[in-house]
Amino acid sequence: MSKPVVALVGRPNVGKSTIFNRLVGEPLAIVDDTPGTTRDRLFGQGEWLNVVFDLIDTGGIDPSSTKQGEPLSVGSADFIEQIRTQAQIAIQDADVVLFIVDAISGVTPADQEVAQILRRNQKIVDGKPYPPVLLVVNKADSERYRNQAPQFFELGMGDPYPISALHGTGTGDLLDALLTAFPEQVEDEDDDSIKIAIVGKPNVGKSSLLNRLVGQERSIVSDIPGTTRDSVDTHIDVNGLPVTLIDTAGIRRRGKIEPGVEKYSVVRSLRAIERADVSLLVLDATAGITAQDTHIAGFILEAMKSAVVIVNKWDAVTKDSFTMQSYTEHLRRELNFMPYVPVLFISAKTGQRVDQVLPTALHVQEERLARLTTSQINRILQEAKEAHSPTTKSGRSLNIFYGTQVRSDPPTFLIYVNDPKLVHFTYTRFLENRFRQSYPFTGTPIRLVFKGRRDK
């Protein structure tokens, strides 16, 4: 079950980044008085009354430009197209849209353009427009500006919510309305399939791999990066097991994400990782391992999802007897934070080793659900203490009493100690390695949680 997604939409310099920072509770977005400061997608997580939601801060929709310091007509076709693209994609991917306007500026022609686009692209679901749009009147820092909020009724977007993102005034009422606007989150109990997401930067062959796996031309294949805009679900049966393959849009480097369509295709990719049990991280063998590949691996790890690294286009690499070994060693160095992931060298174009992809992914899913007995866990902990005693800190020694596995998916171990503050991250890594020596948990992250207990 995915978290609700909230998109912030509006013309430049209405305070979207300030609102974003206020709702996520930390200054993640750059705030500046210069219109258009936010040029990249920015994601955060908000919470209100124990409801967690994803928040997307976007670059400002700019329906006007400047020429010798004077604004051009807001009817300029070039800029209206940019408005339309961002607003349409926001409506497609968000569960709720926050339409931000400026109390000080009042209603502007640009606001009217954005309102028209949002209205035209809403769908009617159960007699109501979807997704719902909340009209947020920002910069209402004084009673004077709060009293002027009713002028925004002329936009036809419902009740205006006057707030001051800078001071926090009115944000509680806005969040209450936001929770009410969220669609009911219903988990599909009938879908017990194993979900495998195919992720990676653009043009690494994700759609070609999907087509090979399902045996038909399920997705459009093109040499143009970013062809796949939506996450596409394909349901197949593998030896009696129901499997859902999720093909996603490519994730580009932050600086390379274009406004509009590609910006929101990143949202879909990250949501696909969250939905999946196992992610297939597809790399381009001819391009080597890039920083963006490691960033996507980081997204998978942050979500605590299992993974298989797929090195595609291996047929296009000039090889000798040591090429695969050298590439593997380099890959392990670059992905040293995920040493447990299996690596497959394939060619989606020729079909080389593609038959190993799904069996490997299903094996990784089995490892994700593995459970160790309490006796196994405590034997591992005892042997770890004998091999390497915990270092002391401030004259105090770390004492490990016992451990137990409290859940799988991913495997999570609760370890009782005298004081969790004495656990250094290097010792946590040491313990994780000892666990994997006993049971590999192939392709799967494991979580060690330390809890204090009085030493009697």
- With H, G, I as helix, E, B as strand and everything else as coil, classify residue 313: coil
Question: So what's the pLDDT on residue 65?
Answer: 42
Question: So what's the pLDDT on residue 45?
Answer: 80
Examine the domain organization and report whether 380 and 239 are in the same domain. Answer: no
Q: Evaluate whether residue 188 is within a structural domain.
A: no
For residues 25 and 46, the answer to whether their CB atoms sit within 8 Å is yes
Question: So what's the pLDDT on residue 273?
Answer: 87
Examine the domain organization and report whether 290 and 409 are in the same domain. Answer: no
- With H, G, I as helix, E, B as strand and everything else as coil, classify residue 307: strand
Q: Evaluate whether residue 40 is within a structural domain.
A: yes
Closest CA to 237 of 219, 213, 253: 213
Bridge-partner residues for 138, per DSSP?
A: 102
Taking the alpha carbons at both ends of the chain, their separation in whole angstroms is 43
Ranges in the chain, pLDDT < 70? 1-2, 26-43, 58-91, 185-190, 216-232, 249-268, 391-395, 454-456
* Global pTM exceeds 0.85: no
Residue 143 exposed, middle or buried by CB count within 10 Å (0-12, 13-18, 19+): exposed
Give the CA dihedral 335, 336, 342, 345, nearest 10 degrees.
40
Render 332-351 in DSSP notation, one character per residue.
HHHTTT-TT--EEE-BTTTT
Examine the domain organization and report whether 23 and 99 are in the same domain. Answer: yes
Question: So what's the pLDDT on residue 250?
Answer: 53
Question: So what's the pLDDT on residue 7?
Answer: 87
Quote the number of domains for the chain. 3
Q: Evaluate whether residue 186 is within a structural domain.
A: no
Helix axes 357-368, 206-214, angle to 10 degrees: 90
Of 341, 368, 395, the residue that ends a domain is 368
Examine the domain organization and report whether 294 and 390 are in the same domain. Answer: no
Q: Evaluate whether residue 189 is within a structural domain.
A: no
Examine the domain organization and report whether 331 and 317 are in the same domain. Answer: yes
CATH of the domain at 302: 3.40.50.300
| Token couple for 295 | 């960033």
Question: So what's the pLDDT on residue 155?
Answer: 96
Q: Evaluate whether residue 227 is within a structural domain.
A: yes
How are beta strands 194-199 and 232-238 bridged, if at all? unpaired
Question: So what's the pLDDT on residue 245?
Answer: 92
Range of the domain at 20: 5-181
Examine the domain organization and report whether 284 and 379 are in the same domain. Answer: no
